Structure 1
Amino acid sequence: MLPAMHRRQFVQHAAALAALPAFGGLAMTGPWPETATQAARVVNGERLNGWLAQFDAIGRTASGINRVAYSAADLAGRAFTKELFAQSGLTMRLDTAGNMLARLPGTDSALKPILIGSHVDSVTDGGNYDGPVGSFGAIEVARSLLEQKVRLRHPLEVVVWQNEEGGTIGSKIAVGLLTPADLDKVARSGKTVREGIGIIGGDVSRLAESVRKKDDLAGYLELHIEQGGQLEKNHRQIGVVDGIVGLRWFEITITGFANHAGATPMDQRQDAMLAAATFTVAVNEAIRGEAGRQVATVGRLNVLPNTTNVIPGQVTLTVDLRDLSQATIDRFTARFEQLGRDIGKATSTTFAFTQMVNSTPALSDTRLTQVVESSAGALGLTHQRMPSGAGHDAQEVAHIAPMAMIFVPSVGGISHSPREFSRAADITNGANVLLNAVIAADKVLP
């Protein structure tokens, strides 16, 4: 719910909105104000949460939400989103990458646009809030600006990125970071990225037309669920993201010697599983042994020959390493490689490291984080600074433009799960902060 001090203002806005004609044929009477006012404004939270409730049925299966990129459910989700653009009086266009975009003109045609948005695809067996909260929140913000006749100096663009969960594909294309090899990667739907772009209406032969250059945008704001439990634990309503952690993934192949489990003495074994287990514990101890917010996870193991009565001859495992400091990521990379050498020597095995993913930390823009904080304060919402431990499209956009993110609580800190849930009041709070942050950013950005 909105704080008591703003309920009267909400009622006033609700009455004003009720007086407007249906938005599909919104009649703009009289000139728009040249600039936004300083008073805190609110979105139509009931409408926004209604959209999310309807969207929950798309891709819903017995095991969770399955709107994986380029699947039939993803196409249905995109069609639903396209209809929301239309209902909101926004003319949607599709870029050659398959990203969905709409634009509100500003009063100063010389200014670069402020971009807001997120994604609507999901992980396998995921939830309904990761992505759609920010995408639908951005559409609702644009619609609220139109309905309340607030016109910004900057143009405002709303974006729904394609295939965020498969590696921030749409936003990578937009900033020129997608490689030809990336196009041949297979999404969770079984389609390659190359095939998927065509399926959703893009044109892989013209991807260069969707690339934005540095300074093409004034700034980027993204609303998202926290995907963790810090806001709930600290009884805070809004997270002001001060940066998105860098991410480095390794695939490590440990080679020993497969031999008979009963006939091989313990002191003559080259046990790849023993080396993998020792390494897993060592990674955990190394990360926990140093003060900081760094995290590392051994998440997948493949064992050969994976038989009860054979000593494992080879294990392939993955390590996911994250921190907001690039120096910390580099330092632990070297530490893990040294651990591999030491454990290999002790177990008569060899460790081979292959780097799979390497994304650098993205720090939020100071002006935009201050704008988010001040907007939360103006709405009477409790807030805190925090890093994002998960990757987002904002991390890619940060290569070319100032960015900031707004988090709302995830109940129980659960995400990428059928149990993922954010309360309607928290989602409304986040959209209200986004609305006011956009208005404030319009004043502070060049």
Structure 2
Amino acid sequence: MHRRQFVQHAAALAALPLASRLAAPLGAQKRPLVVNGDRLNGWLAQFDRIGRTPTGINRVAYSAADLAGRAFTRELFAQSGLQLRLDTAGNMLARVPGTDPKRAPILIGSHVDSVTDGGNYDGPVGSFAAIEVARSLAEQKVRLRHPLEVVVWQNEEGGTIGSKIAVGLLTPADLEKVARSGKTVREGIGIIGGDVSRLQEAVRTPGDIAGYIELHIEQGGLLEKASRQIGVVEGIVGLRWFEITVTGFANHAGATPMDQRQDAMLAAAKFTVAVNEAIRKEPGRQVATVGRVNVLPNTTNVIPGQVVLTVDLRDLEQSKIDRFTRTFEQIAREIGAETRTTFAFNQLVNSTPALSDARIMGVVEQSAMALGLSHQRMPSGAGHDAQEVAHIAPMGMIFVPSVGGISHSPKEFSRATDITNGANVLLNAVIAADAALP
């Protein structure tokens, strides 16, 4: 070990027991605590059978497989000595009292629903690790000053529905949205045991939560590429979705000379290339994707008269999202003039970036160092429940590597060692946050 690495490691080992003494006044911990990794990974292996189909994991919200997954999770709460309660939104919660009842709880957790034909790690890793952390603290007789609350949010993949309700951001229109199971959110809340008429009872306000920490698979390949074991999430990117309608003039493909056409498809293609070039031209982590294209009349021998396409724009800086929005609009005007077509922008989604709390990033880094784990700071390019909780409380996230950078796929995989590492960082970050958070 190099001298600098030794000094950093020794400093981290010295710092973490201080937090442990504050959390566990009955006896200071001389080294970082660890979870039962075999138990945690055993739960995940068992869970893989629920919703497993030939095309991947299908535990979409409010489906029979989702209900089976929630039943399995409920059993894990019981096995771990945690008293489960269901809030009116259908979120699963359990609280471990702290030594100071006046303190707001530290919240940890994730979700267990999946996308269509997804994998077994997106969500369950963080949910089951949170249960394991609470169980490990009890088994090792460590009691925090803050209460510790474990949460499993409902319908994260359908738009962070459970956490949106918890922070008071769900709209009446959201209740009528149809989940991948074919059920509306309104119907689904009733199916999982919630009560739509009493959703306000599930809402939390600023001050109700001391801090939120979520463990998750990275869903990208940055950690693997850098050979790092832990990602310290700086924030969750904001995103802006557009539906753009390009209007030209449908005409005969054989009888219309090339210089007389108003080809909407040509304009859309030029726009797609130009968006990609604009994003790549500027240094940074911004991304933009043209993801869906519908062509009318979509016939072999007719010049396309209309194209509807979508753009997904994401970055950790709101000012950059705003600036690229203006850039795309200017590109559309120029291409429209060149091709004699028109572009109409309709904004579908607009979420602002959610930045991680500096104190929580600090305790995550401190915990990784104390455990001898390599780490790096990084943004989250995907959305998470943490971005909703950030509206009312300090939040942070811990990433572990996804093999091949694959997620939302049957090939999604994270190694058992990496999952255990992440849970150990979560455990010690909770202990340190107990001292760091007010």
TM-score by length of 1: 0.92
2:52 aligned residue: 60
- 2:392 equivalent to 1:383: no
SS at 2:244's partner residue? Answer: strand
Deviations 1:352-406 (A, max 9, x none): 1111111110111001100000000111111111111111100110000000000
2:264 aligned residue: 272
CA distance in 1, matches of 2:169, 2:31: 39
Q: 1:35 to 1:280 in 2, by over 3 A?
A: farther
1:211 aligned residue: 203
1:404 aligned residue: 396
CA distance in 1, matches of 2:154, 2:226: 33
Q: Read off the aligned partner of 2:236 and give its amino acid letter.
A: I
* Segment of structure 1 superposing worse, 225-234 or 263-272: 263-272
Shift, 1:38, TM fit? 6.2
2:193 aligned residue: 201
Shift, 1:305, TM fit? 1.1
Shift, 1:119, TM fit? 0.4
Structure 1 residue runs of 5 or longer lacking an equivalent are 6-31
SS at 2:387's partner residue? Answer: helix
2:19 aligned residue: none
Alignment of 1:348-363 (within 5 A): 348-363=340-355
Tell me which of 222, 225, 239 is aligned to 1:230. Answer: 222
Alignment of 1:67-106 (within 5 A): 67-106=59-98
Tell me which of 253, 277, 290 is aligned to 2:282. Answer: 290
Alignment of 1:30-45 (within 5 A): 33=25, 37=29, 39-45=31-37
State the superposition RMSD in angstroms.
Answer: 1.2
Q: Read off the aligned partner of 2:32 and give its amino acid letter.
A: A
Tell me which of 307, 317, 324 is aligned to 1:325. Answer: 317
- 2:405 equivalent to 1:413: yes
Shift, 1:338, TM fit? 1.2
CA distance in 1, matches of 2:334, 2:183: 41
CA distance in 2, matches of 1:36, 1:109: 22
SS at 2:302's partner residue? Answer: coil
Shift, 1:264, TM fit? 1.2
SS at 2:410's partner residue? Answer: coil
Q: Is the 8 A contact 1:70 1:199 kept in 2?
A: yes
CA distance in 2, matches of 1:344, 1:35: 71
Shift, 1:35, TM fit? 7.9
CA distance in 1, matches of 2:344, 2:182: 29
Deviations 1:309-349 (A, max 9, x none): 11111111110000000000000011111111111111111
CA distance in 1, matches of 2:436, 2:39: 30
Tell me which of 179, 194, 214 is aligned to 1:187. Answer: 179
- 2:42 equivalent to 1:50: yes
CA distance in 1, matches of 2:152, 2:100: 25
Q: Is the 8 A contact 1:35 1:152 kept in 2?
A: no
Deviations 1:124-167 (A, max 9, x none): 11100000000000000001111111100000000000111111
Number of residue equivalences? 416
Give percent identity, aligned residues only. Answer: 84
Regions of 4+ moved over 6 Å: none
2:111 aligned residue: 119
